[in-house]
Chains A and B, each alone.
Chain A
């Protein structure tokens, strides 16, 4: 590959004006099989060419490339080498014979000559184990930018041919562009229309709402006005009704007042004479002397009369008590008498006994107002029931005793 590279480098170093040619075109190497296959078999079967991996190819030089091991030149071969050579020759001859027809080889050496490896280098080198090392340094310039990649202009191959499309040959622009334009403009316009429609719709909605609001407000105002009117009328009605009621009330009061006044007048027309009459009758106008007589003289008179009468009554009462004691004594005396006499004459003597009894009752009643002063009054009412009994017991008495009592 070395010789192949150099011209390439030269080419690059010089100027990229000359088109580049390979002396050996780069090709991918087929894989070398590990085992030699039989030639016939290999030729007969055409296997698909397997390309080798460069990394695992034994033919690739590895290791130092700056000091290669060149095959040592030997003019006097050692016996070992001679033997080897002999064997190699034999093999080669054998191969030769086998491949005589197939592979043209270098012709055999003419008699008297032999093929020998010859070093044809200009300079003879001393072969030694020690590898000649030379230290070289290389340094790129500091801060040098990577130069721009040169434009790659591929090699021109082929023939230059020109062609030209005249106007109107391919297509008619106006005709072809129509649908595209239609779509473009249509879409744009559609979008714009949508937006405008949206806004317009909204504006219409609000305008309608506004109009509706106005109408509604007007109606509302009308309603409120009518309400207000109604309220005023109602209030006015109420006020008038109230006024009327008050008026009626006042009227009623006035009539009542008038009636009352008339009535009062009439009622009190003869007030004064009647008053005077009443007063006179009740004795406000009195004669003082008469009054004096009435208030002082007559009571005194009456008291005196009463006292006199009382004395009389007292006398009678005294008499009564006397009679009574006598009668009681007699009763005691006559109590031993049988009762049959008493029953015979009850009816006869009941009536006369009633009359004096009543008289006695009357005197008793007259005695009672004076009872405070006389002691005999008290035993008198107590004696009345006993008198009833005593009368019955004493019915048998002779009339003499009755006469005494009636006195």
Chain B
């Protein structure tokens, strides 16, 4: 039978692991058919070719129109790890462009995949989906939060970062499920992790938990001293996240008292004084909260010049926050 290939040696630039892509509009339908073929090699090659194609958003839309998602869903449960890995990679890239909330149930099973890369891709997909509101709601409805929290304990560092990101985006919507599974204890451990990225992300998750009232009380009880110690961390990201988490935790009076007790004011003042700190805004806000307590006010009355400096910040929000802080500090009951 005549082959399109003339010689046995392939030309030097062609990647033999990829399926040849048909021209123009036929590319994706043909790949779709190849994905359904019973031969493993064909499937793998089609997946590799597809992986390159989905970087283009137009192809993504066409792919979904052609009906790729069903095929990919079936392939998620393939016995071959390469196939699974490639499928998750494709889904990750596709998720960057839009949301496939129907994938969640299929992806849930992959969370326990023995191959690391598959799990990493799956978590990346979740993280991407959680960044959009509908995706976060979808993940919440699928009841994945307890599972993710549980995974935090056992997974690798990279994947932990992804899980923390996912959690922070989902918990922005609702926090009760996570609290029920004792997420705060786990996060408290993570705050002392050696990796700075994990520390900052764990603090961010605590921040998101703290935006909800029930989360606030839980955070106030246990975590404030650790957060205050993190304020003096070397990594600015960690400082920023910790300040943010403190900002929300000190909204409640008991939080304020424990923060004052943990002597949060000096490090916060240092953060405010730094011109380029990311945590400036959050630090100003936290100090505003603390200034509503009489002891806090007393201490901060000596430091109003720091806030005066903040009024010259180029960022509008910082200026406003500094003004509010000054007014709160100078407030008198009569």
Q: Does A224 contact B (CB under 8 A)?
A: yes
Given A222-B324, A225-B289; A217-B244 close (CB under 8 Å) = yes
**Cβ of B247 and Cβ of A221 under 8 Å apart?**
yes
Contact pick for A209, options B131, B289, B292, B317, CB 8 Å: B131
CA distance A221 to B324 in the complex (A): 13
A215 touches B285 (CB 8 A): no
Most buried by B among A194, A217, A219, A222: A217
B211 within 8 A of A: yes
A220: B residues at CB distance < 8 A: 211, 248
CA distance A176 to B19 in the complex (A): 34
1/0 per position for A128-153, CB-CB distance to B under 8 A? Answer: 00000000000000000000000000
Residue of B nearest to A198 (CB): B55
Contact with B along A218-248 (1 / 0, CB 8 A): 1111101100110010000000000000000
**What is the 8 Å Cβ interface bit string for chain B, positions 289-300, against chain A (1 contact, 0 not)?**
100100000000
The residues in A between 186 and 224 inclusive whose CB is less than 8 angstroms from any CB of B are 194-195, 198, 202, 209, 214-215, 217-222, 224
Specify which of A194, A219, A225 is in contact with B251 (CB 8 Å cutoff).
Answer: A225
Contact B251 A224 (CB under 8 A): yes
Check if A218 sits within 8 Å of B55, measured CB to CB. Answer: no
- Taken together as a complex, chains A and B put the C-alpha atoms of A214 and B321 apart, in Å, by 13
A225 contacts B288, CB within 8 Å? yes
Nearest-neighbour CB distance to chain B for A274, whole angstroms, equals: 58
A217 near B248 (CB under 8 angstroms)? Answer: yes
Q: What is the bound-complex CA distance between A209 and B292, given in angstroms?
A: 31
Question: How far is B290's CA from A138's CA once the two chains are assembled, in angstroms?
Answer: 112
- Residues of B within 8 Å of A228, CB to CB, are 251-253
With both chains docked as a complex, state the minimum distance between the C-beta of B96 and any C-beta of chain A, in angstroms. Answer: 7
B247:A195 contact, CB within 8 angstroms: no
The reply to whether A218 and B282 contact each other, CB–CB distance below 8 Å, is yes
**What are the 7 closest A-B residue pairs judged by CB atoms, nearest first?**
A224-B251, A221-B247, A218-B281, A221-B285, A228-B251, A225-B289, A218-B285
- Residues on A with C-beta less than 8 A from B282 are 214, 217-218, 221
- Nearest B residue to A223, CB-CB: B251
Interface residues of A (CB under 8 A from B): 194-195, 198, 202, 209, 214-215, 217-222, 224-225, 228-229, 232
B317 touches A215 (CB 8 A): yes
Q: How far apart sit A195 and B93, CA to CA, in the bound complex (Å)?
A: 13
Enumerate B222-255 residues with CB–CB distance to A below 8 Å: 240, 244, 247-248, 251-253
Query: Which residues on B sit within 8 Å (CB–CB) of A221?
Result: 247-248, 251, 282, 285, 289
Q: Is B207 an interface residue (CB 8 A)?
A: yes
Contact between B288 and A218, CB atoms less than 8 A apart: no
Partner of B248, one of A195, A198, A202, A224: A224
In whole Å, how far is A210's beta carbon from the nearest beta carbon of chain B? Answer: 9
Chain B residues lying within 8 Å of A195, measured Cβ to Cβ, are: 55
Contact between chains at A218 and B317 (CB < 8 Å): yes
Q: Which residues of B contact A219 (CB under 8 A)?
A: 317
Residues of B67-84 at the interface with A, using a CB-CB cut-off of 8 Å, are none
Whether A214 lies near B281 (C-beta < 8 A) is yes
Give the CA-CA distance A228 to B292 in the complex, in Å.
10
Which residues from A are CB-within-8-Å of B288?
222, 225
A224 to chain B, nearest CB (A): 5
Given contacts A209-B131, A225-B289, is CB(A218)–CB(B321) below 8 Å?
yes
A239 CB to closest chain B CB, in angstroms?
14
Tell me the chain B residues, 268-306 only, with Cβ under 8 Å from chain A. Answer: 278, 281-282, 285, 288-289, 292
State the CA gap A198–B93 with chains docked (Å).
Answer: 11
10 extra A-B contacts, CB within 8 A, seeds A214-B278, A215-B281, A221-B248: A198-B55, A202-B96, A221-B285, A221-B289, A222-B285, A222-B321, A222-B324, A224-B211, A225-B292, A229-B292
Contacts of B285 in A (CB 8 A): 218, 221-222, 225
24 residue pairs from A and B, CB less than 8 Å apart: A194-B55, A202-B96, A214-B244, A215-B281, A215-B317, A217-B211, A217-B244, A217-B248, A217-B282, A218-B247, A218-B281, A218-B282, A221-B248, A221-B251, A221-B285, A221-B289, A222-B285, A222-B288, A224-B211, A224-B248, A225-B285, A225-B289, A228-B251, A228-B253
Task: With both chains docked as a complex, state the minimum distance between the C-beta of A211 and any C-beta of chain B, in angstroms.
Answer: 9
Q: A224 CA to B253 CA in the complex, in Å? A: 12
Cα A194 to Cα B58 in complex, Å, equals: 14
How many angstroms between the C-alpha atoms of A217 and B240 in the bound complex?
12
> How far, in whole Å, are A232 and B244 apart by their CA atoms in the complex?
23
Please indicate the chain B residues that have their CB under 8 angstroms from the CB of A194 in the complex.
55
Interface centre among B96, B244, B285 (most CB of A within 10 A): B285
Given A195-B55, A225-B289: A217 touches B96 (CB 8 Å cut-off): no
User: Which A residues touch B289, using CB under 8 A?
Assistant: 221, 225
Considering the complex, give the chain B residue whose CB is closest to the CB of A220.
B211
Which interface residue of A198, A219, A221, A228 has the most chain B CB atoms within 10 A?
A221
Instruction: Please state if B321 and A217 are interface contacts (CB–CB under 8 Å).
Output: no
- A213 CB to closest chain B CB, in angstroms? 8
B211-225 interface mask toward A, CB cutoff 8 Å, 1 = contact, 0 = none?
100000000000000
Question: Chain A contacts of B253 at CB under 8 A?
Answer: 228, 232
Q: Which chain A residues lie closer than 8 Å to B131 at the CB level?
A: 209
Closest to A214 in B: B281
Closest to B55 in A: A198
Minimum distance in angstroms from A321 CB to a CB of chain B: 109
B residues 49-99 touching A (CB-CB < 8 Å): 55, 96
Question: How many Å from the CB of B332 to the closest CB on chain A?
Answer: 14
A95 to chain B, nearest CB (A): 58
A214 to B236, CA, bound (A): 14
Inside 8 A of B240's CB, which chain A residues have their CB? 214
Cα–Cα distance between A228 and B252 once the two chains are bound (Å): 7
Q: Is B55 a contact of A217 with CB atoms below 8 Å?
A: no
Residues of B with C-beta under 8 A to A229:
292
Among residues of A, the one whose C-beta sits closest to the C-beta of B318 is A218
A residues in contact with B96, CB < 8 Å: 202
B99 → chain A closest CB, angstroms: 15
Q: How far is the CA of A125 from the CA of B324 in the complex (A)?
A: 137
Return B205 CB to nearest CB of chain A, in Å. Answer: 13
A295 to chain B, nearest CB (A): 82
Which interface residue of A198, A202, A209 has the most chain B CB atoms within 10 A?
A198
Taken together as a complex, chains A and B put the C-alpha atoms of A222 and B244 apart, in Å, by 12
Interface flags for B320-331 (1: CB within 8 Å of A; 0: not) read 010010000000
